[in-house]
Amino acid sequence: MMKKSVAMLAVCMLAQSHLAIAAGAPAPQEINIVLLGTKGGPSLLNTARLPQATALTIGDKIWLIDAGYGASLQLVKNGIPLRNINTILLTHLHSDHILDYPSLLMNAWASGLKDHTIQVYGPPGTQAMTKASWKVFDRDITLRMEEEGKPDPRNLVKATDIGQGVIYKDELVTISALKVPHSPFPDGEAFAYRFDTQGKRIVFSGDTSWFPPFATFAQGADILVHEAVHVPSVAKLANSIGNGKTLAEAIASHHTTIEDVGKIAREAHVKKLVLSHLVPATVADDVWQQEAMKNYPGPVIVGHDNMTISVP
């Protein structure tokens, strides 16, 4: 009798699934996070890690979170066509998060962007930066439009300065922004982003110092991608450069220590923690993991450039 009931339940669930599809409910889409650049700061000491950029793909939709130096090349390397980018989200306007932004727009246009508009969301200043980018390439744009018949790229990108709250919503995803403290930027000029899609939650911290409200924002996340600083290694690095002490103090106060990253992940009850924007970028993986796991009992992934993480 029990076997019969289980079989009937399975048949009913399958029938409901087919009815939902027939009624037009969206089919589940595969979700992947692609780490394009995982170091913090604009300096290029080597090519093992490039500055900040992360892609989130949901089916054939592509969201880019930050566009640090090398983002265009890393996207191509990972088989993500630049012309297919749907949305760019900028967490703040530090150069290690935006240096490739102007060239990314031009590269997307050069590689065939023409049938849709790239939506760009970012803090105050994003619209002005986008307009300035077009001015830099104005001569090139004019000549290519005249000689090659290309559409005007300025009509294919829409930049929006955002505030806190839901910034985008459709049948697939809801994207929310949270103001986070990242001195010396004023309040409201640095953001974390949360994606709620298909019953899953993916959160990107951006650059932030310790901020308890972030735990509420990230509550129950399936994956939290969070920046991290290893203070002892920063202190050692500081001794080797001229402005070391000033730089070390700034880094420690403007970012989240790896121990505090573990605390915030625990308080938010996240299912998996991914470390990115690593400062310094030379710290060994096992050190990052051990320090995070002092306060967080879940799985910790130390991000590396060109790593793909599937969201189950």
Domain locations along the chain: 28-310
Query: CA–CA distance from 283 to each of 23, 60, 168, 248 (Å)?
Result: 52, 35, 36, 15
C-alpha distances out from residue 70 to 14, 53, 191, 252, Å: 46, 8, 22, 26
Q: What pLDDT score was predicted for residue 216?
A: 98
Span of 25-29, 53-57, 288-292 with lowest mean pLDDT: 25-29
How far apart CA 135 and CA 35 sit, in angstroms, is 30
In the chain, what percentage of residues exceed pLDDT 70?
Answer: 89
Question: How far, in Å, CA of 33 to CA of 26, rounded?
Answer: 21
pLDDT in tens, 11-48: 444 444 444 444 455 688 999 999 999 999 988 887 89
- The pLDDT confidence band at residue 109, using thresholds 50, 70 and 90, is very high
Confidence at residue 234, expressed as pLDDT on a 0 to 100 scale: 86
Confidence of residue 240 (pLDDT cuts 50, 70, 90): low
- CATH number for the 28-310 domain, one of 3.60.15.10, 3.40.50.280, 3.90.550.10, 3.30.230.10? 3.60.15.10
Q: How confident is the model at residue 2 (pLDDT cuts 50, 70, 90)?
A: very low
Check whether 65 has a pLDDT greater than 70.
Answer: yes
* Cα separation, 114 vs 120, whole angstroms: 16
User: For residue 6, what pLDDT is reported?
Assistant: 40
Question: What pLDDT is attached to residue 7?
Answer: 46
pLDDT at 312 over 80: yes
Residue tagged 């690095």 (tokens)? 237
Mean pLDDT of the region 94-103:
98
Which bin fits 165, alpha (ψ -120 to 50), beta or left (φ > 0)?
left
On the 0-12 / 13-18 / 19+ scale of CB atoms within 10 A, 200 is middle
Instruction: Encode pLDDT of 163-192 as tens digits.
Output: 999 999 999 999 999 999 999 999 999 999
Q: What is the mean pLDDT of residues 105-133?
A: 98
Average model confidence (pLDDT) across the chain: 91
pLDDT band at 288 (very low <50, low <70, confident <90, very high): very high
In the chain, DSSP assigns E strands to 31-37, 53-58, 61-65, 87-89, 118-122, 157-161, 165-169, 174-179, 191-197, 200-204, 223-229, 273-279, 300-302, 307-310
Task: Return the structure tokens found at 31.
Answer: 């979700």
Q: What letter represents residue 108's amino acid?
A: A
- Check residue 45 and give its pLDDT: 80
Task: Give pLDDT, residue 241.
Answer: 66
